[in-house]
Protein backbone atom coordinates (compact mmCIF):
# COMPACT_ATOMS: atom_id res chain seq x y z
CA UNK A 1 0.00 0.00 0.00
CA UNK A 2 1.16 3.57 -0.47
CA UNK A 3 2.78 5.64 2.30
CA UNK A 4 3.41 2.57 4.45
CA UNK A 5 6.48 0.69 5.56
CA UNK A 6 7.00 -2.72 4.00
CA UNK A 7 8.94 -5.55 5.59
CA UNK A 8 10.41 -8.59 3.93
CA UNK A 9 8.67 -11.80 4.81
CA UNK A 10 5.37 -12.87 6.38
CA UNK A 11 4.19 -12.07 9.90
CA UNK A 12 6.57 -13.31 12.58
CA UNK A 13 5.09 -11.67 15.64
CA UNK A 14 1.70 -12.89 16.84
CA UNK A 15 0.04 -10.19 18.99
CA UNK A 16 -3.40 -11.27 20.21
CA UNK A 17 -6.93 -9.89 20.33
CA UNK A 18 -9.17 -10.36 23.36
CA UNK A 19 -10.47 -13.61 21.86
CA UNK A 20 -6.84 -14.76 21.48
CA UNK A 21 -6.92 -14.63 17.71
CA UNK A 22 -3.97 -13.00 15.97
CA UNK A 23 -3.99 -9.20 15.89
CA UNK A 24 -2.84 -8.59 12.34
CA UNK A 25 -0.40 -5.75 11.65
CA UNK A 26 -2.04 -4.33 8.55
CA UNK A 27 -0.06 -2.39 5.95
CA UNK A 28 -1.97 0.76 6.84
CA UNK A 29 -4.13 1.52 9.89
CA UNK A 30 -6.79 2.85 7.52
CA UNK A 31 -7.28 -0.37 5.55
CA UNK A 32 -7.47 -3.93 7.00
CA UNK A 33 -5.22 -5.34 4.28
CA UNK A 34 -1.94 -7.22 4.70
CA UNK A 35 0.29 -8.06 1.71
CA UNK A 36 3.74 -9.64 2.00
CA UNK A 37 6.16 -11.86 0.14
CA UNK A 38 8.02 -14.36 2.30
CA UNK A 39 10.61 -17.10 2.44
CA UNK A 40 10.00 -20.19 4.56
CA UNK A 41 13.68 -20.21 5.53
CA UNK A 42 13.08 -17.04 7.57
CA UNK A 43 11.19 -19.16 10.08
CA UNK A 44 12.92 -21.38 12.66
CA UNK A 45 13.06 -24.97 11.42
CA UNK A 46 11.22 -23.80 8.27
CA UNK A 47 8.03 -23.74 10.35
CA UNK A 48 5.81 -20.68 10.85
CA UNK A 49 4.04 -20.27 14.21
CA UNK A 50 0.52 -21.64 14.32
CA UNK A 51 -2.08 -18.85 14.42
CA UNK A 52 -5.66 -17.91 13.53
CA UNK A 53 -7.53 -14.68 12.79
CA UNK A 54 -10.79 -13.33 11.40
CA UNK A 55 -9.16 -12.43 8.10
CA UNK A 56 -9.32 -14.63 5.04
CA UNK A 57 -5.77 -15.68 4.20
CA UNK A 58 -4.50 -16.21 0.66
CA UNK A 59 -1.23 -17.99 -0.05
CA UNK A 60 0.24 -18.18 -3.57
CA UNK A 61 3.47 -20.16 -3.96
CA UNK A 62 5.84 -18.58 -6.47
CA UNK A 63 8.66 -21.14 -6.25
CA UNK A 64 9.55 -24.19 -4.22
CA UNK A 65 6.99 -26.03 -2.14
CA UNK A 66 5.71 -26.34 1.40
CA UNK A 67 3.24 -28.22 3.51
CA UNK A 68 0.32 -26.30 4.97
CA UNK A 69 -1.48 -27.33 8.15
CA UNK A 70 -5.12 -26.28 8.62
CA UNK A 71 -6.72 -27.56 11.83
CA UNK A 72 -4.37 -30.54 11.78
CA UNK A 73 -5.02 -31.45 8.13
CA UNK A 74 -1.90 -31.18 5.97
CA UNK A 75 -1.79 -30.21 2.29
CA UNK A 76 1.18 -29.89 -0.04
CA UNK A 77 1.50 -26.64 -2.01
CA UNK A 78 3.77 -26.42 -5.06
CA UNK A 79 4.84 -23.59 -7.35
CA UNK A 80 1.83 -21.98 -9.02
CA UNK A 81 -0.55 -23.44 -6.43
CA UNK A 82 -1.98 -21.90 -3.29
CA UNK A 83 -4.57 -22.03 -0.55
CA UNK A 84 -7.34 -19.87 0.85
CA UNK A 85 -7.82 -20.28 4.61
CA UNK A 86 -11.24 -19.27 5.85
CA UNK A 87 -11.89 -17.05 8.84
CA UNK A 88 -11.05 -18.43 12.30
CA UNK A 89 -9.11 -21.55 11.26
CA UNK A 90 -5.80 -22.61 12.85
CA UNK A 91 -3.06 -22.74 10.23
CA UNK A 92 0.66 -22.55 9.49
CA UNK A 93 3.11 -23.39 6.71
CA UNK A 94 6.20 -25.56 7.11
CA UNK A 95 8.66 -27.86 5.35
CA UNK A 96 9.69 -31.16 6.89
CA UNK A 97 12.50 -31.41 4.34
CA UNK A 98 13.72 -27.89 5.20
CA UNK A 99 13.34 -26.88 1.55
CA UNK A 100 12.88 -23.27 0.50
CA UNK A 101 9.52 -21.83 -0.48
CA UNK A 102 8.93 -18.35 -1.87
CA UNK A 103 5.31 -17.27 -1.46
CA UNK A 104 2.89 -14.36 -1.33
CA UNK A 105 0.70 -13.96 1.76
CA UNK A 106 -2.41 -11.75 1.66
CA UNK A 107 -4.81 -11.18 4.56
CA UNK A 108 -8.17 -9.53 3.91
CA UNK A 109 -10.52 -8.69 6.77
CA UNK A 110 -14.22 -9.33 6.10
CA UNK A 111 -15.08 -5.77 7.19
CA UNK A 112 -13.72 -4.58 3.83
CA UNK A 113 -16.94 -5.84 2.24
CA UNK A 114 -19.39 -4.85 5.00
CA UNK A 115 -20.48 -1.47 3.63
CA UNK A 116 -24.11 -2.62 4.01
CA UNK A 117 -25.61 -5.18 6.35
CA UNK A 118 -27.31 -6.95 3.47
CA UNK A 119 -23.97 -7.69 1.77
CA UNK A 120 -22.66 -9.17 5.00
CA UNK A 121 -25.82 -11.22 5.62
CA UNK A 122 -26.41 -12.51 2.10
CA UNK A 123 -22.90 -13.03 0.74
CA UNK A 124 -20.10 -12.66 3.28
CA UNK A 125 -21.32 -14.69 6.27
CA UNK A 126 -22.46 -17.66 4.15
CA UNK A 127 -18.82 -17.95 3.02
CA UNK A 128 -16.89 -17.16 6.21
CA UNK A 129 -19.19 -19.33 8.36
CA UNK A 130 -19.41 -22.22 5.93
CA UNK A 131 -18.47 -25.23 8.07
CA UNK A 132 -17.89 -27.23 4.90
CA UNK A 133 -15.12 -24.91 3.68
CA UNK A 134 -12.45 -24.32 6.37
CA UNK A 135 -9.98 -23.92 3.49
CA UNK A 136 -9.79 -24.15 -0.27
CA UNK A 137 -6.82 -25.62 -2.13
CA UNK A 138 -6.19 -23.37 -5.14
CA UNK A 139 -5.45 -25.42 -8.25
CA UNK A 140 -4.15 -23.43 -11.25
CA UNK A 141 -5.77 -25.98 -13.59
CA UNK A 142 -9.23 -25.01 -12.31
CA UNK A 143 -10.12 -21.76 -14.08
CA UNK A 144 -12.01 -20.02 -11.25
CA UNK A 145 -9.35 -20.97 -8.71
CA UNK A 146 -6.63 -19.71 -11.03
CA UNK A 147 -8.47 -16.37 -11.05
CA UNK A 148 -8.04 -16.23 -7.27
CA UNK A 149 -4.33 -17.05 -7.61
CA UNK A 150 -3.94 -14.32 -10.26
CA UNK A 151 -5.67 -11.82 -8.00
CA UNK A 152 -3.39 -12.75 -5.12
CA UNK A 153 -0.30 -12.15 -7.24
CA UNK A 154 -1.71 -8.89 -8.59
CA UNK A 155 -2.35 -7.64 -5.03
CA UNK A 156 1.38 -7.94 -4.41
CA UNK A 157 2.47 -6.47 -7.75
CA UNK A 158 0.21 -3.42 -7.36
CA UNK A 159 0.67 -2.86 -3.61
CA UNK A 160 2.70 0.36 -4.05
CA UNK A 161 0.23 2.06 -6.39
CA UNK A 162 -1.79 4.99 -5.14
CA UNK A 163 -5.06 3.18 -5.89
CA UNK A 164 -3.94 -0.13 -4.37
CA UNK A 165 -6.66 -0.16 -1.66
CA UNK A 166 -9.35 0.27 -4.32
CA UNK A 167 -7.88 -2.49 -6.45
CA UNK A 168 -7.73 -4.81 -3.45
CA UNK A 169 -11.34 -3.98 -2.59
CA UNK A 170 -12.45 -4.81 -6.13
CA UNK A 171 -10.36 -7.97 -6.16
CA UNK A 172 -11.71 -9.12 -2.80
CA UNK A 173 -15.27 -8.64 -4.07
CA UNK A 174 -14.43 -10.75 -7.12
CA UNK A 175 -12.90 -13.47 -4.93
CA UNK A 176 -15.94 -13.48 -2.64
CA UNK A 177 -18.19 -13.86 -5.66
CA UNK A 178 -16.19 -16.87 -6.86
CA UNK A 179 -16.25 -18.46 -3.41
CA UNK A 180 -19.98 -17.86 -3.01
CA UNK A 181 -20.70 -19.37 -6.42
CA UNK A 182 -18.55 -22.47 -5.96
CA UNK A 183 -18.75 -23.20 -2.22
CA UNK A 184 -20.68 -26.26 -0.93
CA UNK A 185 -24.32 -25.36 -1.57
CA UNK A 186 -26.07 -27.70 0.81
CA UNK A 187 -26.75 -26.46 4.29
CA UNK A 188 -23.81 -27.81 6.25
CA UNK A 189 -24.61 -28.51 9.90
CA UNK A 190 -22.33 -26.82 12.38
CA UNK A 191 -19.46 -29.18 13.06
CA UNK A 192 -19.22 -30.51 16.61
CA UNK A 193 -16.68 -28.59 18.65
CA UNK A 194 -13.32 -30.33 18.59
CA UNK A 195 -12.35 -30.43 22.27
CA UNK A 196 -8.75 -31.34 21.50
CA UNK A 197 -8.37 -28.32 19.21
CA UNK A 198 -9.84 -26.07 21.91
CA UNK A 199 -7.38 -27.43 24.47
CA UNK A 200 -4.50 -26.99 22.04
CA UNK A 201 -5.56 -23.39 21.31
CA UNK A 202 -5.52 -22.62 25.05
CA UNK A 203 -2.01 -24.01 25.44
CA UNK A 204 -0.77 -22.24 22.30
CA UNK A 205 -2.23 -18.93 23.49
CA UNK A 206 -0.50 -19.42 26.85
CA UNK A 207 2.84 -19.78 25.07
CA UNK A 208 2.19 -16.74 22.87
CA UNK A 209 1.38 -14.62 25.94
CA UNK A 210 4.19 -15.86 28.19
CA UNK A 211 7.06 -16.92 25.92
CA UNK A 212 9.46 -14.38 27.48
CA UNK A 213 9.10 -16.04 30.89
CA UNK A 214 10.62 -19.27 32.20
CA UNK A 215 8.06 -21.93 31.21
CA UNK A 216 7.98 -25.65 31.91
CA UNK A 217 6.05 -28.49 30.30
CA UNK A 218 3.88 -28.57 33.41
CA UNK A 219 3.03 -24.87 32.95
CA UNK A 220 1.96 -25.44 29.34
CA UNK A 221 -0.12 -28.51 30.20
CA UNK A 222 -1.79 -26.64 33.06
CA UNK A 223 -2.93 -23.95 30.62
CA UNK A 224 -4.93 -26.64 28.81
CA UNK A 225 -6.12 -28.28 32.04
CA UNK A 226 -4.59 -31.58 30.92
CA UNK A 227 -1.73 -33.81 32.03
CA UNK A 228 1.73 -33.55 30.54
CA UNK A 229 1.27 -36.75 28.52
CA UNK A 230 -1.96 -35.45 26.90
CA UNK A 231 -0.26 -32.12 26.25
CA UNK A 232 2.60 -33.80 24.38
CA UNK A 233 0.22 -36.00 22.38
CA UNK A 234 -1.80 -33.00 21.18
CA UNK A 235 1.27 -31.03 20.12
CA UNK A 236 2.63 -34.07 18.30
CA UNK A 237 -0.72 -34.78 16.58
CA UNK A 238 -1.38 -31.25 15.34
CA UNK A 239 2.07 -29.63 15.21
CA UNK A 240 4.37 -32.66 14.80
CA UNK A 241 6.62 -31.37 17.57
CA UNK A 242 6.86 -31.28 21.34
CA UNK A 243 5.48 -28.37 23.41
CA UNK A 244 8.97 -27.34 24.51
CA UNK A 245 10.24 -27.35 20.92
CA UNK A 246 7.23 -25.26 19.85
CA UNK A 247 8.02 -22.80 22.65
CA UNK A 248 11.68 -22.44 21.62
CA UNK A 249 10.83 -22.05 17.95
CA UNK A 250 8.23 -19.42 18.79
CA UNK A 251 10.88 -17.55 20.80
CA UNK A 252 13.20 -17.73 17.80
CA UNK A 253 10.45 -16.43 15.51
CA UNK A 254 9.93 -13.46 17.84
CA UNK A 255 13.66 -12.83 17.79
CA UNK A 256 13.67 -12.82 13.97
CA UNK A 257 11.16 -9.98 14.09
CA UNK A 258 13.45 -8.01 16.39
CA UNK A 259 16.46 -8.70 14.16
CA UNK A 260 14.48 -7.37 11.22
CA UNK A 261 12.76 -4.38 12.82
CA UNK A 262 15.05 -3.16 15.64
CA UNK A 263 18.64 -2.28 16.47
CA UNK A 264 18.65 -4.16 19.78
CA UNK A 265 21.84 -5.98 20.69
CA UNK A 266 22.00 -9.79 20.75
CA UNK A 267 21.90 -9.89 24.55
CA UNK A 268 18.88 -7.57 24.60
CA UNK A 269 17.07 -9.71 22.03
CA UNK A 270 17.91 -13.00 23.75
CA UNK A 271 16.63 -11.84 27.13
CA UNK A 272 13.49 -10.22 25.70
CA UNK A 273 12.35 -13.46 24.01
CA UNK A 274 13.04 -15.79 26.92
CA UNK A 275 16.60 -17.09 26.42
CA UNK A 276 18.79 -16.81 29.50
CA UNK A 277 21.97 -15.81 27.64
CA UNK A 278 23.12 -14.47 24.29
CA UNK A 279 25.42 -17.47 23.77
CA UNK A 280 22.61 -20.00 24.27
CA UNK A 281 20.34 -17.94 22.04
CA UNK A 282 22.95 -17.80 19.27
CA UNK A 283 23.65 -21.53 19.59
CA UNK A 284 19.92 -22.39 19.36
CA UNK A 285 19.40 -19.91 16.53
CA UNK A 286 22.24 -21.39 14.48
CA UNK A 287 20.88 -24.90 15.05
CA UNK A 288 17.47 -24.11 13.58
CA UNK A 289 18.23 -21.29 11.14
CA UNK A 290 21.59 -22.60 9.84
CA UNK A 291 23.07 -19.12 10.27
CA UNK A 292 23.78 -16.72 13.11
CA UNK A 293 21.43 -13.92 14.19
CA UNK A 294 23.93 -11.36 12.92
CA UNK A 295 24.02 -12.97 9.49
CA UNK A 296 20.23 -12.90 9.19
CA UNK A 297 20.11 -9.27 10.31
CA UNK A 298 22.56 -8.38 7.53
CA UNK A 299 20.39 -10.24 5.01
CA UNK A 300 17.29 -8.31 6.09
CA UNK A 301 19.08 -4.98 5.77
CA UNK A 302 20.49 -5.84 2.35
CA UNK A 303 17.05 -6.96 1.12
CA UNK A 304 15.38 -3.80 2.42
CA UNK A 305 17.64 -1.64 0.25
CA UNK A 306 16.62 -3.10 -3.09
CA UNK A 307 13.12 -4.54 -2.80
CA UNK A 308 10.96 -1.65 -4.05
CA UNK A 309 11.01 -2.63 -7.73
CA UNK A 310 10.48 -6.33 -7.01
CA UNK A 311 8.21 -8.27 -9.37
CA UNK A 312 6.67 -11.71 -9.08
CA UNK A 313 7.42 -14.63 -11.35
CA UNK A 314 6.71 -18.28 -10.76
CA UNK A 315 7.37 -21.63 -12.38
CA UNK A 316 4.21 -23.75 -12.65
CA UNK A 317 4.24 -27.07 -10.81
CA UNK A 318 5.22 -29.97 -13.05
Query: Do 51 and 82 share a domain, yes or no?
Result: yes
For residue 276, give Cα distances in angstroms to 207, 216, 268: 17, 14, 10
The reported pLDDT for the residue numbered 193 is: 58
Query: Do 170 and 208 share a domain, yes or no?
Result: no
Query: Do 56 and 169 share a domain, yes or no?
Result: yes
Query: Do 168 and 37 share a domain, yes or no?
Result: yes
Query: Do 83 and 201 share a domain, yes or no?
Result: no
Are the C-beta atoms of residues 77 and 85 closer than 8 Å to each other? Answer: no
Query: Do 53 and 153 share a domain, yes or no?
Result: yes
Whether 308 is covered by a domain: the verdict is no
State the sign of the Cα–Cα–Cα–Cα dihedral 263, 264, 266, 270: negative
Pairing of strands 56-70, 73-78: antiparallel
For residues 272 and 265, give the distance between their C-alpha atoms in angstroms, rounded to a whole number.
11
Q: Which domain holds residue 212?
A: 195-303
Closest alpha carbon to 249 in 200, 199, 288: 288
Query: Do 161 and 207 share a domain, yes or no?
Result: no
Whether 20 is covered by a domain: the verdict is no
In DSSP terms, 60 is beta-bridged to 82, 104
The reported pLDDT for the residue numbered 187 is: 54
**Which CATH number fits the domain that encloses residue 216?**
1.10.10.60
Whether 150 is covered by a domain: the verdict is yes
The reported pLDDT for the residue numbered 294 is: 95
E-assigned strands of 164-249? none
For residues 55 and 128, give the distance between their C-alpha atoms in angstroms, rounded to a whole number.
9
Residue 289 — φ and ψ, nearest 5°? -100, -10
Residue 179 — φ and ψ, nearest 5°? -65, -45
Whether 38 is covered by a domain: the verdict is yes
Q: Give the total number of structural domains in the chain.
A: 2
Query: Do 47 and 88 share a domain, yes or no?
Result: yes
Query: Do 54 and 177 share a domain, yes or no?
Result: yes
Whether 276 is covered by a domain: the verdict is yes
pTM strictly above 0.95: no
State the sign of the Cα–Cα–Cα–Cα dihedral 284, 286, 289, 290: negative
The reported pLDDT for the residue numbered 15 is: 52
**Which CATH number fits the domain that encloses residue 78?**
2.60.120.280
Whether 7 is covered by a domain: the verdict is no
Query: Do 57 and 160 share a domain, yes or no?
Result: yes
Query: Do 176 and 254 share a domain, yes or no?
Result: no
Query: Do 169 and 217 share a domain, yes or no?
Result: no
Please list the pLDDT of the chain residue by residue as tens digits (318 residues).
Answer: 544 333 344 444 445 454 445 567 788 878 999 999 999 999 998 999 888 889 999 999 999 999 999 998 999 999 999 999 999 899 999 999 999 999 999 999 999 998 888 999 999 999 999 989 999 999 999 999 999 999 999 999 999 999 999 999 999 999 999 999 999 876 555 545 578 988 998 999 899 899 999 999 999 999 999 999 999 999 998 888 899 999 999 999 999 989 998 999 999 999 999 998 999 999 999 999 999 999 999 998 988 776 544 544 444 443
E-assigned strands of the chain? 33-39, 56-70, 73-78, 82-85, 91-94, 101-108, 135-138
Amino acid sequence: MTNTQHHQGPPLSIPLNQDYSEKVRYDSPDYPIYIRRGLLSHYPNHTAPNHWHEDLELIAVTSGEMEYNVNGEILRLGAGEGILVNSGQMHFGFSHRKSECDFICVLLHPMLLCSAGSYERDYLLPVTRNAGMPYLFLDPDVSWQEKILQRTRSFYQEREQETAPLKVLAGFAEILGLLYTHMPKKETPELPRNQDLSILKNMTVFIHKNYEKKLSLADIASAGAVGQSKCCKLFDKYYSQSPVLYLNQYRLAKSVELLRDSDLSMIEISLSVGFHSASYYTETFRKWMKKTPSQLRREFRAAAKGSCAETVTFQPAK
